[in-house]
Amino acid sequence: MAYELPALPYDYTALEPHISKSTLEFHHDKHHAAYVSKYNAAIEGTAHANQAIEDVIKAIYNDESKAGLFNNAAQAWNHSFYWNCMKPGGGGEPTGALADKIKADFGSFDKFKEELKNAAATQFGSGWAWLVLDNGTLKVTKTPNAVTPIATGQTPLLTIDVWEHAYYLDYQNKRPDYIDTFLNNLVNWDFVAEQLKAAM
């Protein structure tokens, strides 16, 4: 089934000064829209046309003959998820069951934060850093290019987009500054908590 480009869950200026209107316009309206458009064009008239995008991603992962389709499908899905991982006035620390689970599985929130920052900073080239639920345990992972944890059986709870187009207009080559700002000022812990609750 055709995948629809979701509207941003906030106004283009809502994340300023941390992420600019220009970045969101380019990132959502150009990059994300292009992945969605290419994905929809590629599945038209195929056996994948009636499948949910998540099922397509899982079915074609590691099929080299469908690498182009996978890249556009996974990037369309990853970006839709990423927008929800941020909110105006976000950041800080989570509370409740999510905070307890992070402490149980990582030892402390600071240890989790350190692991996530390291994963995002050390992902060579383009990619993503993730907090995932893997067989009941929270883990930090990173994926190159379009690869998404849903392809490997993990449940994504949070992601940081570290493709340059996510931050270059605002931070240039200072990826660590973007990562710090994401965690301190943008993370939507309510969304992350909802994902955890749904997965447990």
Convert the pLDDT of each residue in 84-107 to its tens digit: 999 999 999 999 999 999 999 999
Residue among 162, 157, 164, 161 nearest 199 (CA): 157
Whether pLDDT at 1 is above 90: no
Whether pLDDT at 200 is above 90: no
* Adjacent-strand bridge partners of 160: 129
Chain centre distance of CA 106: 21
| Residue 110 assigned to a binding site | no
pLDDT at residue 29, rounded to an integer: 96
pLDDT at residue 143, rounded to an integer: 97
pLDDT at residue 51, rounded to an integer: 93
Residue 69 backbone phi and psi in degrees, to 5? -65, -45
Report CA-CA distances (Å) from 41 to 84, 122, 146.
25, 34, 18
Convert the pLDDT of each residue in 4-59 to its tens digit: 999 999 999 999 999 999 999 999 999 999 999 999 999 998 989 999 999 999 99
Convert the pLDDT of each residue in 117-168 to its tens digit: 999 999 999 999 999 999 999 999 999 999 999 999 999 999 999 999 889 8
| Tokens at 55, concatenated | 């099922």
pLDDT at residue 88, rounded to an integer: 97
pLDDT at residue 2, rounded to an integer: 85
Instruction: Map out the domains of the chain with their CATH numbers.
Output: 21-84 (1.10.287.990), 96-199 (3.55.40.20)
Which long-range contacts does 135-144 make (Cβ < 8 Å, 24+ apart)?
A: 136/200, 137/105, 138/101, 138/102, 138/105, 138/106, 138/112, 139/105, 140/112, 140/115, 140/116
Residue 39 backbone phi and psi in degrees, to 5? -65, -50
| Residue 79 assigned to a binding site | yes
At 131 the three-state DSSP class reads strand
Chain centre distance of CA 166: 11
